[in-house]
Structure 1
Amino acid sequence: MAPTTQETGLGERITGALVGAAVGDALGGPVEGYSPEQIAERHGGRVHGIVGPWHGEAWRTARPLAPYHKGDGHVTDDTLMTHALIRVYARVRDHLDAHAIAEHLVPDLMTAPRWIPELEAEALPLHRVFLAEKWLVARLHYGHVDPREAGVGNIVNCGAAMYMAPVGLVNAANPAGAYAEALDVAGAHQSSYGREAAGVLAAAVAAACVPGASPDSVVAACLALAKDGTRTAIERVCEAASRHTDFESALRPLREAVAPYDTVGPDYRAPSLAARRPSRLHAVEELPVALGMLVVAGGDFRHAVLGAVNYGRDCDSTATMAGALAGALGSPVPGEWAKTVAEASRLDLWQPAAVLTEVAREVFARDVGRRRAHEAAFAAIGGPSCSG
């Protein structure tokens, strides 16, 4: 079970969420796209930690993953995008919107070479990110589309949700604020239930930062804000999860619960004809399953992340979300995993957390000033004052 979070401070929560997300990402990467049965066959049982590439030393040429070195503690584009969004917060030092994505995130992806762990080389992040993220550059830089509407037309997936934890952390303990900001930010990238998933993931991370938060309170915050198929999928998956305390027994029930809302279909590598199209009836698979694994694990980081990893399919993103949520709740990230991932990926996993903690404090101070100015103005026109 996760420890009590009553005394876990802002910096610790932000660090736990961001380091936890990166660790989940790295653990899920090498088994992404496969089923629980395939994972168990390949590894002689369930994955219990950091493993090597699916095809061993042939990772450079083996399809469908070549030329990416997934495994051995390498993070994927989930973490690269998360860190890029933190750099945008570090520049703006205030709440973000879709225009900030166009003005700051897109140039970051296009112009600043960085170490890409899966390529084992320095390259532009744009050269690593998936096509759904390249959409940001195509639409905003080359297409000059209104940032608030640029996500329309992109495939509907978890591409925005996977890096939205920083929005929840800047809005720590304010799920409604996180939800609204993430919807605005994600408008540049996603539409429909992909955009909705980004908003709800941010809200979940913010809810996990509330003192005394638990998996159940995080799910309740999500259900209070989520709309359409996303809400129903979360409700169904978490209902199924509540009947399990071990991820092994939960793997099939969670997939069965989310399947009616998932457009990809049973074969992850051969999506259905309706896959990833806008809909008010459907949801991305990764967010409900991450929340479900959090419930199964009782908030424990190791259990939640390993459940997400062994679930398979898009498990690097599912484990990224589960890791962010468990870390924000205060469940410790295993030190040996964090150390291995940081060293293997050649990334400082703690520096972005320190930066975002500073930004979160500054943004809160700005919010307090703005709120007080509003209160004074409202009272001056005959509205009740705070003391009234």
Structure 2
Amino acid sequence: MPPLDPTQTPTPTPRRTVPTLTDRITGSLVGAAVGDALGGPVEGCSPEQIAERHGGRVRGIVGPWHGDDWRTARPIAPYHKGDGHITDDTLMTHALVRVYATVRDHLDAYAVADHLVPDLITTPRWIPELEAEALPLQRLFLAEKWLVTRLHYGHVDPREAGTGNIVNCGAAMYMAPVGLVNAANPAGAYAEALDVAGAHQSSYGREAAGVFAAAVAAACAPDATPASVVDTCLSLAKDGTRAAIETVAEVASAHDEFESALGPLRTAVTPFDTVGPDYRAPSLGARRPSRLHAIEELPVALAMLLIADGDYRQAVLGSVNYGRDCDSIATMSGALAGALHGASAVPQDWSATVAEASRLDLHAPATTLAQVTQEIFTKDRARRRTHETAFKALTGDAP
């Protein structure tokens, strides 16, 4: 290397641009929706089946598994999964954003009863998979219809309404907004999501909702990395959920691309997953409360984030090609990668196709949530200062 010329001004090292809060919220919500749309058409299949159907790994947006027969082909008829259509994961995520826009403060289980359930049963919206305008309730699966049954018809205490529902990822899949409202405050996100999810889930399904929200909040921290996100999850997660994340994270550390990790990750998560080897035919012990088990989706999404070193495209494609409940896995990994790196991390051609195909403005919910998040932070600061003043008075230390 030639010696430095003291008469020349050295070229400054480019500074890494740290995404703003609004950018992270946009990246997370758009990233979640795009991951959802990519995973939808191959949901329920194995990596081997996916490769056979598509002549290799899925590398972008693909059409329905059964082509033009999607209206009648079992087991998923009459849903048009594919061609850039979002699924119930995104429908529920956007519905929760609307609740935040109404309440304009932190949420709890009562907000689900008072605002989310009415949203699902009173306002028709465009449902991409039905290619029709319909009530969101008409697209939801039974685990989500449970919200309406228990809260609207059963008048159950919202904090306990999730008890008795099948234990799955139904509540976790739409908890990204809770993490974003609590950006850089994982413990706050965890607590709020547990309260919100109590109306929907119990046991490790509810726990996964709390941990996923915490992961999204952790990903919003200015110095966040995939490793720091996972470490935060491990510091908060309980029981089987914590053990599952720890196990798959160890497996992920041995891989730097998703292809070689697909089999080992499934093997690692199997002891914690109650569904069993056939995703379409769950075992008799599936989805029952347990302190030993975990949903499959969150640990695998975190593993894919680690393997991809936070790269959005690779984390989502790894999630999609994992198969099984891959739309929810890709929703989670997409939300986390988007929160880490901002909106520019999400391939623009993917997001544009999904927005057009699904007839959705993917950026509008993010704009709304960013405004609400600022309002909530202002309220939190005022509440904190009121508490500080009261505490000083209690301890004799006048302000």
Aligned to 1:359: 372
Aligned to 1:209: 220
Q: Which residue of the other structure, out of 329, 352, 358, is the alignment partner of 1:339?
A: 352
The secondary structure found in structure 2 opposite 1:115 is strand
CA RMSD of aligned residues (A): 1.2
Change over 3 Å in CA distance of 1:169–1:383 after alignment to 2: farther
Task: Give runs of aligned pairs for residues 84-103 of structure 1, distance below 5 A.
Answer: 84-103=95-114
Q: Which residue of the other structure, out of 326, 334, 339, is the alignment partner of 1:323?
A: 334
The secondary structure found in structure 2 opposite 1:370 is helix
C-alpha contact 1:5 1:329 (8 A) present in aligned 2: no
- CA distance in 1 between counterparts of 2:19 and 2:42 reads 32
User: Which is greater in Rg?
Assistant: 2
Query: Which blocks of at least 5 consecutive residues in structure 1 are unaligned?
Result: none
Aligned to 2:6: none
Task: Give runs of aligned pairs for residues 253-264 of structure 1, distance below 5 A.
Answer: 253-264=264-275
- CA distance in 1 between counterparts of 2:59 and 2:189 reads 33
The secondary structure found in structure 2 opposite 1:62 is coil
1:245-278, CA deviations, whole angstroms, 9 ceiling, x for partnerless residues? 1000010111111000000001101101110000
- CA distance in 2 between counterparts of 1:222 and 1:166 reads 17
1:315-340, CA deviations, whole angstroms, 9 ceiling, x for partnerless residues? 00000000000000016100000000
Aligned to 2:47: 36
C-alpha contact 1:4 1:212 (8 A) present in aligned 2: no
Change over 3 Å in CA distance of 1:150–1:67 after alignment to 2: same
Q: Which residue of the other structure, out of 123, 128, 139, is the alignment partner of 1:128?
A: 139
Change over 3 Å in CA distance of 1:129–1:5 after alignment to 2: farther
Aligned to 1:165: 176
Same amino acid, percent of matched pairs: 78
Query: Which one-letter code corresponds to 2:218 in the other structure?
Result: A
Aligned to 1:45: 56
- CA distance in 2 between counterparts of 1:91 and 1:150 reads 22
Aligned to 2:67: 56
Aligned to 1:194: 205
Query: TM-score, normalised on structure 2?
Result: 0.95
Change over 3 Å in CA distance of 1:70–1:201 after alignment to 2: same
C-alpha contact 1:85 1:166 (8 A) present in aligned 2: yes
Query: Which blocks of at least 5 consecutive residues in structure 2 are unaligned?
Result: 1-13
Query: TM-score, normalised on structure 1?
Result: 0.98
1:135-193, CA deviations, whole angstroms, 9 ceiling, x for partnerless residues? 00000000000000000000000000000000000000000000000000000000000
- CA distance in 2 between counterparts of 1:9 and 1:357 reads 10
Structure 1 residue 4: Cα displacement: 9.1
1:289-318, CA deviations, whole angstroms, 9 ceiling, x for partnerless residues? 000000000000000000000000000000
Aligned to 2:296: 285
Q: Which residue of the other structure, out of 222, 230, 245, is the alignment partner of 1:234?
A: 245
Determine whether 1:370 maps to 2:378: no
- CA distance in 2 between counterparts of 1:289 and 1:381 reads 47
- CA distance in 2 between counterparts of 1:95 and 1:317 reads 24
Query: Which one-letter code corresponds to 2:234 in the other structure?
Result: L
C-alpha contact 1:69 1:119 (8 A) present in aligned 2: yes
Aligned to 2:194: 183
C-alpha contact 1:5 1:211 (8 A) present in aligned 2: no
Aligned to 1:382: 395
Query: Which one-letter code corresponds to 1:339 in the other structure?
Result: A
- CA distance in 2 between counterparts of 1:259 and 1:9 reads 38
The secondary structure found in structure 1 opposite 2:133 is strand
C-alpha contact 1:6 1:212 (8 A) present in aligned 2: no
C-alpha contact 1:24 1:316 (8 A) present in aligned 2: yes
Structure 1 residue 384: Cα displacement: 5.3
C-alpha contact 1:5 1:213 (8 A) present in aligned 2: no
C-alpha contact 1:27 1:71 (8 A) present in aligned 2: yes
